Structure 1
């Protein structure tokens, strides 16, 4: 086992700020000397550690547009006792950094995150090089790209690794294609950890009992290694093997409190990752006690953001202000709706002759499939996919919302069309975008918890539909290369819904109404339309059990298309072009622009770490965890590897905030997500549309559930389309990737083609 121990810096003095630093920075450089109180404690033989440990450590976390930064945020929140402040590498000028770090003394240390690209590229590394150069007396820890930046700023060369390592591990997880060239390391930098193992393992392989050699080698005073596990292997490794395989994994500066690790301590699979951050905290505390840094700092509140202007912080933009908590009701204000829910339960309605298809056809088939929805779930084993939800154009609250982005850049706004149950439409331009509109709509709804007590599912009426992939421009992406022909979002507000419980055959009928418009304020409903729908729907369902199964939409078994025999799918890209795109992706991976990975286990690990990051933006510090990692679930036609990531949502954030943080799903982009989306945009000729977006619901009481759209047939303007692709990894074979893409599209396209042919042959 191995864990990085960052040693305490020298006690005599720290190196001065480099000569090229501004004079004001030199004025704030301090000599190291203990405080009188600390000297008195030491004179009595008392340790200063309890005093330092009792005081939280405040970290400035520089985000290099990475998809793992908020994993560091979560870990540092636990270790430090207060959450770090997250600032992107191009948000603050050097003057901003200098004022907050030196004049205001708002931070005790700095952590520089991983990120895509190279420290040699100013666009990739931003302000980080200047921070490393001029903050000579501030404890700094660089991770991956931050580690490489520490080497680069002092003259080391950044080169391609012998092979790209993504999602592979030997006790630590690595995502990188670039490394610091060991032979170029300047005298000021000391290697405190390196790998000399030519073979790296997947997550599951790393748990094998016969794996005994350690990934790391280094002096024991800088790195904690169990000698019993590596001594025999040390004798076996010759100098030639060490020289050929040695890759620097850890650095420290000889006279500054600056450290770097090439691996990812924040990964869910890294052994002792939190211990590394705790060691860095101790380094910071020890340094602060010597330098009076902690005693003299101006900010003492646990809310360490109090001295930082909120408009300067990336993380603060996620804090959208105080909101009405779930279940809390306030006086009616402008645009507020107080929705009340009524529902009925029909026990054990499902039978061998009545299934959910029969229910949908009987209740909504007359609408010929228009203005209806059916979120079907039929896999009931192991309590998976227990409920199906369906509905159609209903009561007075029903409406359809469609949204088209007005441009292809971020913050471009878009056109919103709202159609109500009577067919009236309203069209408006929304400058703030669809996500903000949806957020305001959900936040305007007040509700009573007791209305849905006893219901075993989470959707009780509200918004249901899809969010298209193009909405990524409202979730951190810079642009869309192409404009989608399908709406970028389409949702119904469903006030009347039917829920089927596949576990026990029960069926629930639910109806929403606005209390403010259906009564005189005394809570007694004056509008019985929703009651009538409940009663009538219950009667129709009870009659259904006596009818034969196999009803068809609109009472017709089939609807023939005159050109059914000629219908077939056309591949949007030629084989040669697809292979060229794969080869382009491999180039980006080699250059460190993407953390793509090997298939299966390493792929799953990368996505788990990415989703931990996304949840970390909106969850309480320390609450994000992984109860299931790489479990295997079996379905009728496939075995799939499944991991579960959980977290406790911050109380002042709502459903749309969570979607903004995680959309689009990282499994459809790769990591780092922002850079990966830029690369995909440059390669893909046509918009993804609904594909790679999400289908699901936002319940009126702020629960929500969304999927990621894959292997789905989209019908629009008389055409059927299916999106398909694959994750391009460092070891991808372009020909095999093309065949995999065709295989993924085969099942959904075959359904459409077989159905079309069956209709034609029926005549």
Structure 2
């Protein structure tokens, strides 16, 4: 079944386009609110026709149990519905969804000593009848439609009318208050866990690992207002809003995990963070401090080596390269140190093989990956859930694009859950590492405080 595509004669901000759909179950918005080299397109998915979910190891297809693991079922449907994308758009037909970190532990046979605390599935992928794609660089909007149940012309007419009638959203004013939260570590406890992580490194068990804590934030569920505030004041190239009915995902991630286009795989690990300055002079000083930091550069180099090894498992020999290393990227509240690793995939590599080779991402696990994941589980206090997993899409032509789930809150049953962490090496200062987690939490905590405290956003 060939997907129909229509370009609209007008352009609006993709958030305005998504707003009328925000309360529909399974409506999703992959949001590139920070328009840079990484974030050109935003993608909206509505009207699902196939829902894959995995919880407690059990995969379901439209609610019916399937004995196969989700990644195998996903590959089956991608092959069954295979369709070429003859446009320059990143996605015209396919599935949008997420993989939790805990889903990825299964690939490496790493068990957890922590009980699951939520009813959020380990993975969800949804195939949509209709997508809305915003090309923010060219300021163009596109609609796509399958014609299994309704004619594309009828669907396009209805969706275009909805898009035209959407209105501008009021920009919330910036405020400095942050939401109250309950961490699973107190400050001294987190610093003690970091010291223990450093002792594993000194003993040669691992070279680097990502140590995280979970913050729990009570709230009334003003989830879309949280997202609206966050994208307004902390735009990101790999953000998302995902409404799954009994839980919502609010994401402002700056990090790409894995993109595949024309059989070329690209990953962009982030390691190293500094806060933004209070003025331009301090901004310049902090940016240079990050660029000159031997600790942060060595941390990133170790993860680049890990990602190169992972890519070499699925790429043609000699094609894995590092075209960009240790560059500084600017965000609203922080600077990050970033590298790019890419390679040419071996012919016939499918999504299942991609995930088993690469997921979870090295920047949020450590090196060597499996032992780092075992130590992480030993020292952390909670299952990570969606945090440090991936959100993105898989196309019916074999392309995909996934982020690393950081700067992300998951809301369910009156509680936002927010993970924050950072890479630990033998050079790490436990006090600095704790403060870095709080700096990373600031944007989301501020957004929750603003949205939950007001009803007029």
Same fold by TM-score greater than 0.5: yes
* Contact 1:401–1:417, Cα closer than 8 Å, also in 2: yes
Partner Cα distance (1:630, 1:733) in 2: 21
* 1:126-165 mapped onto 2 (5 Å cutoff): none
| Aligned twin of 1:573 | 185
Which of 47, 50, 62 is residue 393 of structure 1 equivalent to?
47
| Aligned twin of 1:582 | 194
* 1:719-738 mapped onto 2 (5 Å cutoff): 719-738=415-434
TM-score when scaled to structure 1?
0.46
| Aligned twin of 2:81 | 445
Q: Does 1:341 align with 2:37?
A: no
Q: Does 1:686 align with 2:382?
A: yes
Deviations 1:523-557 (A, max 9, x none): xxxx643442123223433x33xx642289xxxx9
| Aligned twin of 2:155 | 533
For residues 633 and 582 of structure 1, do their structure 2 counterparts lie closer, same or farther at Cα, with a shift above 3 Å needed?
Answer: closer
| Aligned twin of 1:477 | 109
Partner Cα distance (2:186, 2:47) in 1: 42
| Aligned twin of 1:359 | 17
| Aligned twin of 2:60 | 417
* Contact 2:333–2:443, Cα closer than 8 Å, also in 1: no
Deviation, 1:436, is 2.2
* 1:240-639 mapped onto 2 (5 Å cutoff): 339-347=1-9, 349-350=10-11, 354-362=12-20, 364-365=21-22, 368-381=23-36, 383-394=37-48, 398-405=49-56, 414-419=57-62, 425-426=63-64, 428=65, 430=67, 432-447=68-83, 449=84, 452-453=85-86, 455-484=87-116, 485=118, 486-513=120-147, 528-541=150-163, 543-544=164-165, 548-550=167-169, 568-596=180-208, 599-639=295-335
Partner Cα distance (1:473, 1:384) in 2: 28
Deviation, 1:747, is 1.6
* 1:22-61 mapped onto 2 (5 Å cutoff): none
TM-score when scaled to structure 2?
0.75
* Contact 2:194–2:430, Cα closer than 8 Å, also in 1: yes
Deviations 1:166-190 (A, max 9, x none): xxxxxxxxxxxxxxxxxxxxxxxxx
Partner Cα distance (2:145, 2:337) in 1: 38
Partner Cα distance (2:332, 2:191) in 1: 32
For residues 568 and 715 of structure 1, do their structure 2 counterparts lie closer, same or farther at Cα, with a shift above 3 Å needed?
Answer: same
Deviation, 1:433, is 2.4
Partner Cα distance (2:178, 2:418) in 1: 18
For residues 745 and 356 of structure 1, do their structure 2 counterparts lie closer, same or farther at Cα, with a shift above 3 Å needed?
Answer: same
Deviation, 1:664, is 0.3
* Contact 1:583–1:734, Cα closer than 8 Å, also in 2: yes
* Contact 2:59–2:69, Cα closer than 8 Å, also in 1: no
Deviations 1:439-487 (A, max 9, x none): 222222232x3xx32x222222211111000122332233122243221
For residues 732 and 633 of structure 1, do their structure 2 counterparts lie closer, same or farther at Cα, with a shift above 3 Å needed?
Answer: closer
For residues 446 and 738 of structure 1, do their structure 2 counterparts lie closer, same or farther at Cα, with a shift above 3 Å needed?
Answer: closer
Q: List runs of 5+ in structure 1 lacking aligned partners.
A: 1-338, 406-413, 420-424, 519-526, 558-564
Instruction: Specify the SS of the correspondent of 1:600.
Output: helix
Partner Cα distance (2:346, 2:181) in 1: 46
Query: What RMSD over aligned residues (CA atoms) do the two structures have, in Å?
Result: 2.5
With a CA cutoff of 8 Å and minimum separation of 6, indicate the structure with the bigger relative contact order. 2
Instruction: Specify the SS of the correspondent of 1:568.
Output: coil
Partner Cα distance (1:500, 1:571) in 2: 38
